[in-house]
Amino acid sequence: MGWGDIYKRRVRVFTMALIVYLDYKGVQQREKWTSKSRQAALWEKAHERNAKRVLNLIIEMEGLWVKLGQYMSTRADVLPAAYIRLLKQLQDSLPPRPLEEVYGTIQKELGKSMDELFADFVNEPLATASIAQVHRATLLNGLEVVVKVQHDGIKTIILEDLKNAKSIVDWIAWAEPQYNFNPMIDEWCKEAPKELDFNHEAENTRTVAKNLGCRNQYDGNMSANRVDVLIPDVIQSTEKVLVLEYMDGIRLNDLESLDAYGVDKQKLVEEITRAYAHQIYVDGFFNGDPHPGNFLVSKESPHRPILLDFGLTKKLSSTIKQALAKMFLASAEGDHVALLSAFAEMGLKLRLDIPEQAMEVTTVFFRATTPANEYHKTMKSLADQRDRNMKVIQEKMNLDKKEMKRFNPVDAFPGDIVIFGRVLNLLRGLSSTMNVRIVYMDIMRPFAESVLSGYISKGPSLNDRWIFDSPVHSDVESKLRQLLIEMGNNDKILGIQVCAYKDGEAIIDTAAGVLGKYDPRPVQPDSLFPVFSVTKGITAGMIHWLVDNGQLNLEENVATIWPAFRSNGKDVIKVHHVLNHTSGLHNAMGGIAQEDPLLMLDWDGCLNRICQSIPETEPGKEQFYHYLSFGWLCGGIIEHASGKKFQEILEEAIVRPLHIEGELYVGIPPGVESRLAALTVDTAELSKISALANRADLPSTFQPQQIAQLATTLPVAFNTLNVRRAIIPAANGHVSARALARYYAALADGGKIPPPHSSASKPVLGSHPHIPKLSSSQKPPIKNRKCIGRRTQATSPSVSTTNSYEKVSSHEDFDANEGRNTNSESSSGGDDSSSRIGNNLRTHVARKVYKNPRIIDEFLGTGEYENLALPGESFGLGFKRFSSKDGSSIAFGHSGMGGSTGFCDVTNNFSVAVTLNKMSFGGVTGKIVQLVCSELNIPVPDDFLRFAVEQSGPDEQLSMGRPIIN
């Protein structure tokens, strides 16, 4: 091909592109002046006219443009019918090359004359495609074969077309930055030339056939991940000639013949989809060109798909294969954390923090296919969704229309997923052409799960690193690790952390397992676990801190602090009623989960709902667990009493004094996603609780049946980032066990801050100084009011934060190799001002969190505070009282749904915390607490003792009667 031909080729392509573009712009203008009844016909004529132009140009140009036409011909889900009807002939019906050229290539490549090679050679080609044409033949030994012969000079044409395509894409990226297809064309430029070597295709064919376990005879073996397809045997190959076994089949686009043979098209396309799921997820080696011309269907029952043409294949590394599986399963589960982790592992980077939009786009990517006749509806839905997403980005980035036009939210697009995306779109188009509906989430899921099961299901018996490699602090920790290994081998633990303090020093700090069902990264000491109602113990500590600092009085009416709370007879409810679960508002938020769980994300809306609620019982008379309302009752009191945001008080009262920055949040900030554990449910224990009778001590909206339902639905909700980021002060704590244990170690010692946590734990506790984004509500005004009976005490010498200091990170914080934040919360993304502020704050920390010498009595509602708590009940003032058989110790704390817990034994100056992500109802936690306490000769609280020994029959039901949920 001379330079003149190259120039003419370029001019023809760009001229045709301009003509088609101007034609459609003209139709857009004419549509404005055309009646609605004639608009459809106007567009149909335009599609027919331009589809013919495109087809004629492709036939004239051949080469790469045929590949493009083949791809377009499969997208019946998004392209008008005229394009599909005309372009589908490009799949295998191009004008054939002269026989002289075909014979010459065969004889030159195989080194023999036609008579020395074949007993018979059919001159009429079976098919002619972009790179080669295929003839049927019979070898001298009688074997029937097909001979694939590469077009003469096609290599030069393909390479030149790639350059032209690259130029067009570069121009589009400059003119319309949001349509930057460079990653796709770059990957194509890298992979397409491989199709020009038929030795490469021969080896690929053998590899895929071996991977799929293809057999010529149907054996009826259909295991979960077994596929039933056929692939021809390779007989001989050179660079430009490929000889394959002949298989008699029906063309996939010959719908009439398929119907005549009684082929089940739905089952056929499902099996093709399964074959590709196997290639991608199981083998990591897949054909990148599944257009209809590359398939046949066997004529004999059970009409198996015959896979052809393995010139364009893609090999995935083990890391990318896992990441693609994780992306798929994260999309199926709505797990934002696993999705962002998958993005990081495959090298996909976004320019801003848009997890909800990322999940939405991924879900669309794996959506079920639609028939061709729904393409208008599909296109409108996709366009509307894109407009919504871009509007969110525009508002988030504060961009004007001109800036938005040039903004691309993707910072880095990995080449490895380009061919993957192309395959998925080709399969989608294939199913639309066949007029069937394929649910990818159902068909591909077993294959994706099999990829990760080999890593996630590697319990302690198979994974010598299941226990995170950290120093052993004591003999009891050694014994605990043996127990964790035992339970891990019995599939009772997915991921877990255990930390314990004795006499102010850490004696246990163990992490084990993985971060999630679809996230095989190891749990580390600074991983963050959602702990549900464990959060209540933290929120209660904030209330007591305000009391300790003279900003609140336990006997004060809530309505005095929070005027809007006064309505509906709530003016007599006092602060201690709220802490003691005796306010009568135990069902105040009870219907929110059934009505709309996302209402919990609206801080101001939930506070307003509390204000409008009506007490069901007289305040102070009956104790019912305030499972949801407790948090917002306390949250409203905290913000109105302090005049500060909830998170400001959390930082000031607890996080900074205890040096646990970055490991205790109520509502996570952006930037910590890489450390989050994802929840799953222990279905065996769930089945037990659903059969229990009602409990008189629980609200009517929080009985075993509702608990079982919540346990099923909450993991899905709390694995999404919009829920994790919300301020839900009764349920949305995200903590490490070592931060939680340190908190209770301080409470056990009357508020005295323990010595620094063991430096043997890596990273060091508190090495994530992080001032979170404060988003709970608008800052309430500081009230100038006098609280009668309030103890007059000096304010704790802590420096409060304001909304001015916040760090907002994005997915770029992920390091896929280490599974950690590389930008890290320990810095502020290049601006060290907030780091300096964090360091200065540390220098102002008091030695005690609480100054009241009788603070333990205050927590428990005993001693001089006895009249503030209902006698003989399980709750003190914000904390669960833990009793033991011998009654020899004073213990309190709070557990959460799923089994996480934190508590302290004041008598023995002991605290322990357990965080886990496989939600159970006490079995795992109970055995851990029983072992640790027994080894230390500390009484085991009754709440945990009943789980110490495996039980069965009626006794088991008795032990499950009070699962660890409060």
Backbone angles phi, psi at 752, to 5 degrees: -70, 130
Determine the 3-state secondary structure of 734 from DSSP. Answer: strand
CA distance 887 to 225: 57
CA distance 439 to 437: 7
Q: Is the peptide bond before 446 cis (omega within 30 degrees of 0)?
A: no
Comparing CA positions, the residue from 488, 474, 566 lying closest to residue 522 is: 488
CA distance 896 to 603: 21
Whether residue 519 lies in the annotated active site: no
Q: What are the C-alpha distances in Å from 49 to residues 36, 45, 83, 135, 241?
A: 21, 6, 10, 33, 38
CA distance 607 to 63: 65
Cβ atoms of 725 and 751 closer than 8 Å: no
Q: How is residue 630 written in tokens? A: 């407790």
CA distance 20 to 56: 13
Cβ atoms of 185 and 71 closer than 8 Å: no
Cβ atoms of 699 and 624 closer than 8 Å: yes
The identity of residue 823, as a single letter, is N
How many helices (H) does the chain have, and how many strands (E)? 36, 27
CA distance 620 to 582: 5
Determine the 3-state secondary structure of 275 from DSSP. Answer: helix
The identity of residue 145, as a single letter, is V
CA distance 542 to 536: 10
Cβ atoms of 526 and 736 closer than 8 Å: yes
Comparing CA positions, the residue from 285, 608, 542 lying closest to residue 420 is: 285
Q: What are the C-alpha distances in Å from 714 to residues 492, 530, 594, 681, 710?
A: 19, 11, 12, 9, 5
Comparing CA positions, the residue from 610, 603, 595 lying closest to residue 723 is: 603
Q: How is residue 845 written in tokens? A: 């920390």
Cα Rg of the chain, angstroms: 34
CA distance 58 to 88: 12
DSSP code per residue over 214-273: --SS------TT----B-PPEEEE-SSEEEEE---EEETT-HHHHHHTT--HHHHHHHHH
- From the candidates 92, 289, 335, 682, give the one annotated as an active-site residue: 289
Contacts of 789 (CB under 8 A, 6+ apart): 553, 555, 556
> Pairing between strand 285-287 and 249-251?
unpaired
CA distance 422 to 289: 8
User: How many other C-beta atoms lie within 10 A of the C-beta of residue 824?
Assistant: 20
Contacts of 464 (CB under 8 A, 6+ apart): none
Cβ atoms of 481 and 310 closer than 8 Å: no
CA distance 950 to 275: 45
Contacts of 146 (CB under 8 A, 6+ apart): 126, 134, 135, 136, 137, 232, 243, 244, 245, 246
| Side-chain-facing half-sphere of 533: CA atoms under 13 Å | 24
CA distance 114 to 109: 11
Determine the 3-state secondary structure of 185 from DSSP. Answer: helix
CA distance 816 to 348: 11
The identity of residue 424, as a single letter, is L
Cβ atoms of 436 and 265 closer than 8 Å: yes
Q: Supply the residues annotated as catalytic.
A: 289
